[in-house]
Amino acid sequence: MVLTLIFAIIRCGFELIEPMLSWELAPGQTVFSRLSFSITFMTVMGLLMGLINLTRLHVNTIRRKRENWVYSIWLLFVLYGYAIVGLGWGPNGTTFNWIYEAVIVPLDSTMFSMLAFFIASAAYRAFRARNIEASILLVVAFIVMLGNVSIGEMIWSSSGWLGGFKGIKDWILAVPNVAHARALAIGIFLGAYAATLRVFLGLDKKYLGGTD
Amino acid sequence: MTNLLILAAEAPARKWGIFVPDDSTIFGLFFGIFMLILVYVMIQRARAGLPIPEIRRIPGMEAFEEAVGRATEMGRPVHITNYSADVGDYDTWAFWSYLAHVAKLCASYDTRIINTNAEYLTMTVNEEIIKQAYLEAGRPDAFNPDDVRFVSPWQFGYTMGVAGIIAREKPAANFLTGYFYAEALILAEAGALVGAIQVAASASTAQLPFFIAACDYTMIAEEFYAGAAALSKEPVIYGSVVAQDIGRVVLTALIIVGAIMNTFGSDAIIRLTKF
Amino acid sequence: MTFWEKFAVIDPRWIFLGMAVLLTFPVLSPLGLAITIDQETTVPIYNWIENLNPGDIVFADVSFSGGSEGELGPQLQAWFRHCLQKGVKVVWVAQWNTGERLGYNMCVEVTEKLEEEGIHTEYGVDWVYVGWKAGGTTMWRNMQIDFWDACAGTDMLGNSFDDLPLMERVRKWDKETCKGIMLFTAGSPGVPTYTTYFHDYDIYLGDVAVQVPGNMNLLRSGQIKGILCGLPGAAQYEILLEKPGRAVKLMDAQSLGHLWIMVLVILGNIGFYVRRKSGTPVD
């Protein structure tokens, strides 16, 4: 507990006394640049360990011919193949960029676009007027959806009474929504602060792998 | 040295000589010290056996045991995950409380637990927590290290991997505890499609509406942190939750007083909080 | 089960199929539904660029990756086009390394389209893409003090700042140099970097629709001056520029998608109430 407090105080010290970061350790090397390098280095080492774990898992799957072991071969081929292309020809190389633009970006967009389908099924299941709160949720959801799209404008124009669906949607976003967002932000800050203090004061030792 | 002097001359004057001239630095410092003292006092009161206010029941907390029990009856595994799980992140620290609780339940009921990860360093801690839980339950051989999986640090690689794991393993209980981004709804729907009972606990405000729509139980924002404390069942940790609540009362009072004063033309409270 | 009761338990596959059809159809055959310009969120961003003088420098940040490209890509391209047309110089940075290359490619697309229209722009003179630099928010704070040193004097492509004429004017990221910041964000790191450390700058946001409610309080409090709200924001900006593009085309699809969700919810509720009335167990 004493050690965590000492480290916390040192960390706070770094935040408060900022010029310390600009101290030059050697020509062209400040405390900040060395710290940044060490953080980047640790992140990359973490990635390397993840790579080792993934390889171990899938090599075991292939060796023991578990279910879907063929996909593990494909995974390892893509994993190491792309890494070799990047290391060999550099991140600005044509092939590396082409794979990024032709494969990764469309895959990313595809996964993100699944949200459109899933929100439809989630909304269908969740928006049932079982009680008053659910009914209010349903009505507000309708108003906000209609306020966002052209069809809402066609049904009730924003130049009409109350600004149409758009006007009501803007009010909902500007007043009740902002109130809840601020309240949640304060609550989250305090909760996170208390959670952080529990670790700093040594009350919570789960980072050591315990269950208490 | 000359460079430092030039930079110092160019920069705006520091508050009280050392604090950076940004808004709320000194107010933030004093509020932080106030919270630190409050937490310490509440913890000492709890240790001394003095009365401290009770924490209300958080509805989502009982759902953990109910969900693991259901998974045990159905003979299907339990899945628990946290996407944004940097080791130095307080969301991860709170997630570990839920992981330890679920791991202990699974170990005592001899139910398989699958933990998927997007961060390797956190995965090593998660593995230790789950292994320890099985050890304490007297079933060290039941622990399967292959069930603690590193999937991908890339958001949608992780999402695809976890959705695939859920579709193949068909867990009966799906716990989404921690900080999530766009993958939240995809993971929740993947769980809903296999008929899993789903409990979400997150401080990610943008994703809470999706969790509420797709999950059976949702613990919102600070309930996630308070629940993490409540799981330990130690009075000293309750003390930190009580301190957090008192801090909230103080902030609320400050907001109300500040709003009233500002309405009547005085911005003293605003200048105080921005100092 | 009666006809109406079936609507309470529609198979999700029919929901997905209906959504797929309604999203695809308007892309192939646009309906041309009207789009209203939002005066509180979109117009301030447009007016900001309109009121700048040729040669003014603004900073822009790419804080998203491929998943949000559908919403933020059109926003970025419309806004960047506006800047180049006005002669406003743009320095790009990226808080997300996964979006770095994506943002650059989208900028290049804009310059190529402008070239076809006879508007010539030059990299290093009209815009510079510094890209992602390791170090997080500490790096961004150091950029305020000495931009060249913080970025190690090179852009994303490896060009030295000495060879880029625009960078001669960008020694520090301060209010003298920077006439505003445009942030295209889909998550973290994102808005807090600027509202915390650049709070006295004019900050404008290009945001994914799901985060707009959470960031609305920043607009109300004046911490940010305008937001482009998802795809509708991009479509509105394209209309303000009188260059309707991808966003305007996709708005029809979004409208029909919302309509499908509303129809499903209505049918689901009808089925729910019919089942409840008939005494069938409901969830």
Contact indicator for C210, C233 with CB cutoff of 8 Å: no
Q: Do A50 and B4 touch (CB under 8 A)?
A: no
- Amino acid symbol at B238: Y
Chain segment B119-142, per-residue pLDDT in tens: 888 888 999 999 999 999 999 999
- Residue B204 · residue B220 · CB < 8 Å: no
Question: Does B86 contact chain C (CB < 8 Å)?
Answer: no
Q: Which of A36-45, A85-94, A150-159, B158-167 has the lowest mean pLDDT?
A: A36-45
- Distance (Å, rounded) from C-alpha C79 to C-alpha C102? 16
B189 contacts on A by Cβ (under 8 Å): 118, 121-122
On chain C, the residues whose CB falls within 8 A of the CB of A32 are: 135, 138, 142
pLDDT above 90 (res C194): yes
Q: What percentage of residues in chain C have a pLDDT greater than 90?
A: 66
pLDDT band at B76 (very low <50, low <70, confident <90, very high): very high
Q: Is the pLDDT of residue B223 over 60?
A: yes
Give chain A positions within 8 Å (CB) of C62: none
**pLDDT-derived band at C33, boundaries 50, 70, 90:** confident
Confidence check: pLDDT of A167 > 60: yes
Q: What is the pLDDT of residue A36?
A: 66
pLDDT, mean of residues B79-97: 88
Structure token digits, residue C249: 């085309």
Looking at chain A, the whole-number percentage of residues with pLDDT higher than 70 is: 80
Integer-rounded Cα Rg, in Å, for chain B is 23
Quick one: average pLDDT of B50-60? 78
DSSP state at residue B32: H
Task: Verify whether the Cβ–Cβ distance B213 to A187 is below 8 Å.
Answer: no
Q: Record the tokens describing residue A126, joined without a space.
A: 């969740």
Would you say residue C5 has pLDDT above 70?
A: yes
Residue-averaged pLDDT of chain A: 82
According to DSSP, the residues that pair with C94 across neighbouring strands are: C62, C132
Query: In this complex, do C66 and A104 lie within 8 Å of one another by their Cβ atoms?
Result: yes
CA angle C21, C24, C28 (to 5 degrees): 130
Is the pLDDT at C202 greater than 90? The verdict is: yes
Q: pTM for the complete prediction?
A: 0.83
Option in A60, A115, A191 nearest B182 (CB):
A115
SS3 content of chain B, % helix, strand, coil (to 5): 60, 10, 30
Angle at B37 between CA B33 and CA B42, to 5 degrees: 150
> Which residues in chain C are closer than 8 Å to B193, comparing Cβ atoms?
12
**pLDDT confidence band for C214 (50 / 70 / 90):** confident
Q: Across the interface, do A50 and B104 touch by the CB < 8 Å criterion?
A: no
pLDDT given at position B79: 97
* pLDDT grade for C22, boundaries at 50, 70 and 90: very high
Structure confidence at residue B4 (pLDDT): 47
Residue B121 is predicted with a pLDDT of 83
Residues from chain B that touch C65, judged by Cβ atoms under 8 A, are: 155
Establish how many alpha carbons lie within 13 A of residue A143's alpha carbon, considering only the half-sphere containing its beta carbon: 19
Return the domain boundaries, chain C.
5-28+255-278, 43-244
Candidates C196, A79, A201; CA nearest to B22 is C196
Checking if the pLDDT of C204 tops 90, the result is yes
Does the pLDDT at position B20 exceed 70? no
How far is the C-alpha of B111 from the C-alpha of B100, rounded, in Å?
Answer: 14
In angstroms, the CA B229 to CA A198 distance is 9
Question: Class assignment of domain C43-244?
Answer: alpha beta
Residues B21-36 have a mean pLDDT of: 80
Structure tokens at B269: 């409270």
Compare B47 and B5 and report the one with higher pLDDT.
B47
Of the two residues C58 and B41, the one the predictor is more confident about is C58
Residues B198 and B214: beta-carbon distance below 8 Å? yes
Under 8 Å between Cβ of B234 and B187: no
Backbone torsions φ then ψ of A208, nearest 5 degrees: -85, 0
CATH number for region B59-230:
3.40.50
In angstroms, the CA C100 to CA C16 distance is 33
Where along chain B do its domains lie? 19-51+239-274, 59-230
Q: Please say if the pLDDT value at position C91 is more than 90.
A: yes
Nearest-neighbour CA in chain C from A212: distance (Å): 31
Q: Do B181 and C214 touch (CB under 8 A)?
A: no
The tens digit of pLDDT for each residue in A60-74 reads 889 999 878 898 899
Pairing of strands A29-30, A24-26: antiparallel
The Cα angle at residue B250 between residues B249 and B253, in degrees rounded to 5? 85
- Measured CA to CA, the distance from residue C96 to residue C191 in angstroms comes to 12
- Per-residue pLDDT band for C140 (boundaries 50, 70, 90) equals confident
Predicted local confidence at residue A27, as pLDDT: 64
Q: Quote the pLDDT of residue B7.
A: 47
Backbone angles phi, psi at B80, to 5 degrees: -135, 140
DSSP reduced 3-state for A159: coil
AA letter at C141: R
Q: Which of B2-16, B42-56, C36-50, C126-140 has the highest mean pLDDT?
A: C36-50
- Our CA-based measurement puts residue B6 at a distance from the nearest CA of chain A, in whole angstroms, of 12
Compute the half-sphere exposure of residue C8: CA atoms within 13 Å on the CB side of its CA.
22
Mean pLDDT of B98-108: 94
d(CA B26, CA B273): 9
C150 has pLDDT over 90 = no
Q: What is the pLDDT of residue B152?
A: 85
Residue B12 has pLDDT above 60, yes or no: no
In this prediction, does ipTM exceed 0.85? no
Q: How many CB pairs under 8 A join B and C?
A: 27
Q: Residue C199: which of B23, B182, B193 has the nearest Cβ?
A: B23
CA C256 to chain centre: 21
Share of chain B above pLDDT 90, in %: 46
Measured between beta carbons, the chain B residues lying within 8 angstroms of C214 are 205-206
**Residue B243 pLDDT > 90:** no
Helix, strand, coil in percent for chain C, rounding step 5: 55, 15, 30
> Is B222 in contact with A199 (Cβ distance < 8 A)?
no
- Distance (Å, whole) CA C146 – CA C136: 16
What pLDDT band is residue B32 in, cutting at 50, 70 and 90? confident
pLDDT at A29: 65
**pLDDT at position C281:** 67
Between A24 and B125, residue with greater pLDDT:
B125
Using alpha carbons, select from C10, C78, C16 the residue that is nearest to residue C251: C78
Q: What is the pLDDT of residue A151?
A: 83
Only one residue has tokens 């630095």, namely B25
Is pLDDT of B10 > 60? no
Average pLDDT, chain B: 86
Can you give the pLDDT at residue B3? 47
The model's pLDDT over A97-130, given as tens digits with 9 standing for 90+, comes to: 888 889 888 888 888 888 889 999 999 988 988 8
